[in-house]
Amino acid sequence: MIYQRKINYYETDRMQIVHHSNYIRFLEEARIYVMDKMGLPYHKMEEEGIMIPVLGVNCTYKNPCRFDDIIEINVKIKEYTGVKLIMEYTIMNKTTNKLALVGETKHCFTNNDMKPISLKKVNHQMHEIFENNYKIKEN
């Protein structure tokens, strides 16, 4: 699934390129967007007492993005077990037509007390949505 956005001036640094830390925010924006499109708005999950904390982030920066560039973030479910979720990302700079970043985020599912849970056991409907979107990626 693709998420598109424009680079804001405040996201750049003194070298006039996007500061590396902002890419992590872009990944989160894209992940939340994709979950909405899948029918899993994050606020709904929180209302159900389900959290998806980030356990790790891995990014490889390829080419810089600058103010006013348009980027497209392709988001896919790389792995889903019901307990663990790994999302993979590719950021393309549509203004320059260059690959800007490849990365992934690792997550787990927890309750409000941050205790790990199995989404399959806690909310089978949400589990099915993740499972079906993961199968799309596998095929």
Catalogue the active-site residues: 13
Strands across the sheet containing 2-6: 2-6, 70-80, 84-93, 98-108, 54-61
- Residue showing tokens 């902002």: 22
Gap between the Cα atoms of 45 and 51, Å rounded: 7
Structure token digits, residue 122: 């806690």
DSSP string, 96-123: TTEEEEEEEEEEE-B-TT--B--HHHH-
Gap between the Cα atoms of 38 and 132, Å rounded: 10
